[in-house]
Amino acid sequence: MLEILQYGFMQRALAAGIMIAIICSTIGTFIVLKRLSMIGDGLAHIALGGIALGLFFKVYPVIAALIFSVVSALGINSLRKAKIYGDVAIAIFFSAGLALAVVLLSLAKGFNVDLFSYLFGSILTVNETDLKMVLGLGILTVGAVILFYKELVYLTFDEESAKVSGIPSDILNNALVVLTAITVVASIKIVGILLVSSLLVVPAATSLQISKNFKETILFSIVLSILSVAVGLISSYYFNIATGGAIVLVSIIFFAAILLYKNWRLR
Amino acid sequence: MGEKIIEMENINFELDGISILEDINLAIERGEFLGIIGPNGSGKTTLLKIMLGLIKPKTGTIKLFGEHIHHFKDWHRIGYVPQHAINFDANFPVSVFEVVSMGRFSKKGLLRRLGRKDLQIIEEALEIVGMKEYKNKRMGELSGGQQQRVFIARALASEPELLILDEPTAGVDVRVQKEFYDFLEKLNKERKITLVLVTHDIGTVTSRVGKLACMNKRLFPECHPEEFFAGIPVEGMKLVHHLHGE
């Protein structure tokens, strides 16, 4: 079975996939508990605007998407602070990004297959540049979470008390959405814009069913996420199916199985 | 005269043009145990939030430990126990130990991990509130009263000189309330912690705190709540009053 790991494209796919699994589930745990599950989907569609812009002006689309999503993430946060409901703030930026993408697409009379690969992901075509980008952004994200772990946990659990104890809540809230934006952009190549938010939300939601404390939640979520990527990737190779979809379906199966097990045990 | 720990002068606050707090003046000295009592919507929680810098008043000045609130940095000297019985998410995956350890964060500062001394203080705080054997339990598995004790342990873990409690006995039965006030009295007398407690519950608090102030948009120091609120038709308060009057 392991002969597939001899292929260079498969090694790159697995390395990139595991890194994405780690950052998505870590950031996802905070996002889900902050009731911001939809922000991943929102930022991914905003990133599409950035990608369209990049393709239109012929610059590396991922860089354009990154700048676009990070700025929008900060915009979403300032709208939230201005007492606009979180989901409305996300919806506004979501619409703006998607609208921009559609307009640019019509101007360019449709792009080539490139756009298609961003929409649905193409983990098997991850090249050296993509892999370096994913690993770089991944290390940055994991490092930031490790450095500010205790403050982020406090802020997620009880924002008001965290403020009273002198934790710089505005800075850290902004940092969290910026990290989310980075995570989303880094993941686009792996599962595609349409499925990015699943990787953020599903493993964390699964882990929440069985964890006793915060640390456990993040660790279980990472394990589930890596398993989903590995099983999804390998089965997509053998059954010749779309990898992004396979990864997400595997993670959904984990979710359903654990939910069923939990309900069965409680009875 | 003792050292003044909190000084609030001429505080006014309004929300969407409706006046919430009017001309509040309050000074709390070290070692005091002050109870502030008032019906729901009388501005008690708002007053605490202004005291803690969570919201800015329309007018007025606040000093904490003699320092203007804008310049105040020693937040670990203040322990805050928010009104948790209402807004605590029972599904949040956090253990008792993790919650109490949050109390150490303000003292450690950014980028510093908890050391052996911190762990010892966390254990001590758990011991004081009698929750040591629950330290690995998930918060959501505890009763309301137990959760409240964990939040107090968290506040104690920062080794505060001042403890501010918002409706600490909400949702807790009368017997546990009595124990709870015994416990606060001990903190006040033995550990010399200054206490400020806000509640809508006329019953027990009246006899247990050192000083009592009544609140209804304005603050009335050293009042008699039974007389003060006699004419005010507030369902919540009367109900509680009856329960304790038995």
Q: Are A157 and B99 in contact (CB under 8 A)?
A: yes
**Has residue B169 been placed in a domain?**
no
For the purposes of burial, counting CB atoms within 10 Å of the CB of A117, is it exposed (0-12), middle (13-18) or buried (19 or more)?
A: middle
d(CA B138, CA B94): 6
d(CA B217, CA B38): 9
Nearest residue in A to B138, CA atom:
A212
**Has residue B46 been placed in a domain?**
no
**Has residue B187 been placed in a domain?**
no
Backbone dihedral region for residue B7 (phi beyond 0: left; psi -120 to 50: alpha; all else: beta): beta
pLDDT of residue B245: 36
d(CA A185, CA A90): 16
The partner residues of B213 in beta bridges, in order of sequence, read: B36, B221
Rg, chain B, Cα only: 18
Measure CA B142 to chain center.
20
The ipTM (two decimal places) reads: 0.84
Nearest to B75 among A33, A166, A208 (CB): A166
pLDDT of residue B238: 43
pLDDT of residue A132: 93
The H or E element containing residue A40 is helix A39-57
pLDDT of residue A27: 96
Query: Could you state, in order of their start, the residue ranges of all structural domains in chain A?
Result: 2-261
**Has residue B233 been placed in a domain?**
no
Cα–Cα nearest to B214, from B204, B46, A54, B227: B227
B111, A213: Cβ pair inside 8 Å? no
Nearest residue in B to A144, CA atom:
B111
d(CA A189, CA A75): 24
A208, B93: Cβ pair inside 8 Å? yes
Nearest to A167 among B94, B105, B154 (CB): B105
Contacts of range B9-17, beta carbons closer than 8 Å, 24 or more positions apart: B9/B60, B9/B61, B9/B62, B10/B59, B10/B60, B10/B61, B11/B47, B11/B50, B11/B57, B11/B59, B11/B60, B11/B62, B12/B57, B12/B58, B12/B59, B12/B60, B13/B43, B13/B46, B13/B50, B13/B55, B13/B57, B13/B58, B14/B58
pLDDT of residue B203: 72
Cα–Cα nearest to B229, from B191, B201, B192: B201
Nearest residue in A to B81, CA atom:
A161
Q: Look up the CATH architecture of domain A2-261.
A: Orthogonal Bundle (1.10)
Q: What is the mean pLDDT of each run of 10 residues along chain B (246 residues)?
A: 87 90 92 90 90 92 93 89 72 92 81 85 90 92 85 90 87 75 88 90 76 88 74 48 39
> What pTM did the predictor assign?
0.86
Amino acid at A111: F
What does A168-229 look like in DSSP terms, one character per residue? -HHHHHHHHHHHHHHHHHHHHHHH-TTTHHHHHHHHHHHHHHH-SSHHHHHHHHHHHHHHHH
Sign of dihedral through CA atoms A191, A197, A202, A207?
A: positive
Cα–Cα nearest to B163, from A138, A70, A161, A125: A161
Percent of chain A with pLDDT over 70: 97
CATH number at residue B106: 3.40.50.300
pLDDT of residue A4: 79
d(CA A202, CA A214): 16
Q: Which residue has the higher pLDDT, B243 or A38?
A: A38
Q: Specify the pairing of strand B4-15 against strand B162-166.
A: unpaired
Q: Which residue has the higher pLDDT, A86 or B73?
A: B73
Contact residues on chain B for A81, CB-CB shorter than 8 A: none
Nearest to B52 among A151, A164, A168 (CB): A164
The number of distinct structural domains making up chain B is 1
**Has residue B53 been placed in a domain?**
no
Contact residues on chain B for A212, CB-CB shorter than 8 A: 93, 95, 136-138
Q: Which residue has the higher pLDDT, A223 or B38?
A: A223
- Residue pairs between chains A and B whose CB atoms are closer than 8 Å: 76
Residue A170, token pair as written in the block: 């505005």
Q: Which residue has the higher pLDDT, A138 or B84?
A: A138
The partner residues of B162 in beta bridges, in order of sequence, read: B78, B194
Does the pLDDT at position A111 exceed 70? no
Least confident of A107-111, A204-208, B40-44, B209-213: A107-111
Q: Which residues of A touch B (CB under 8 A)?
A: 33, 147-148, 150-151, 153-154, 157-158, 160-168, 208, 211-217
Q: Are A133 and A187 in contact (CB under 8 A)?
A: no
* Segments forming the whole domain that contains residue B93: 74-160
